[in-house]
Amino acid sequence: MKPWVELARARADGGGMLSLHRRGDELVIKVDGELLMSNRQHGSEERLAELGCGGLGAAAPRVLIGGLGLGYTLRATLAVVPATARVVVAEIAAPLVEWNRELLGPEFAAPLADPRVVVEVGDVGAQLAAPAAFDAILYDVDNSPHALTRPANAALYGAAGLARARAALRRGGRLAVWSAVHDAGFERRLAAAGFRAASHTARARAGAGSRHTIYVGTVA
């Protein structure tokens, strides 16, 4: 079996040590040595985009994605929104943006070069200041609302953070949150924040792999 080769390493702003590894055609990103994401398991990230952005009624929808990763959520979003859409990607770890653009090849660089895409290096929470700015907000930044990649992300999932997200959405807009596990408490918090809340199971790979949860809160 081919050995893993480390391609790059950098410290994330406010978080742990990120590292990028390749073995053959397999890619993984780790944080502090623990697996964060892989190009072999991205079915639930694509489902996040479908549930969050599919069938939006706006003629020119505005979408906010929190977390770039290996770009699978962005790629799936671009596949379901029209040419008139504007997609803002907020990624706090500048090295992830650089790796997608410069190290991983054209397949990963292309979504960032799409004219519908704007990349903002920084906390996704900073994009929530303007009221009714987005038709969809997607969070793919943590392992779950209670298993965080950086402590400051807790602000996204509490009552105040969910109220900010709701205020940043237009009528009929959706907040979709990726989670490795189901947390009934978070679904209740979504409902308490004024969303019509639901949860969906998504597999890590097509028809196989771990079962992840996508929470969707819709603004009535």
Q: Are strands 208-219 and 169-179 parallel, antiparallel or unpaired?
A: antiparallel
Q: What is the CATH number of the domain that holds 205?
A: 3.40.50.150
Note whether residue 211 is domain-resident. yes
Note whether residue 17 is domain-resident. no
What is the sign, positive or negative, of the torsion defined by CA atoms of 187, 188, 189, 190? positive
Describe the crossing of helices 106-113 and 94-102 by its angle, rounded to 10 degrees: 120
Q: How many domains does the chain have?
A: 1
Note whether residue 164 is domain-resident. yes
Q: Is 90 exceeded by the pLDDT of residue 212?
A: yes
Note whether residue 133 is domain-resident. yes
Task: Please give the model's pTM, rounded to 2 decimal places.
Answer: 0.93
Q: For residue 97, give the H/E element and its range.
A: helix 94-102
Note whether residue 78 is domain-resident. yes
The confidence score (pLDDT) of residue 148 equals: 86
Q: For residue 86, what are the domain limits?
A: 40-219
Q: Is 90 exceeded by the pLDDT of residue 31?
A: no
185-203 confidence digits (pLDDT tens): 999 999 999 999 999 999 8
Note whether residue 57 is domain-resident. yes
84-130 confidence digits (pLDDT tens): 999 999 999 999 999 999 999 999 999 999 999 999 999 999 999 99
Note whether residue 165 is domain-resident. yes
Note whether residue 12 is domain-resident. no
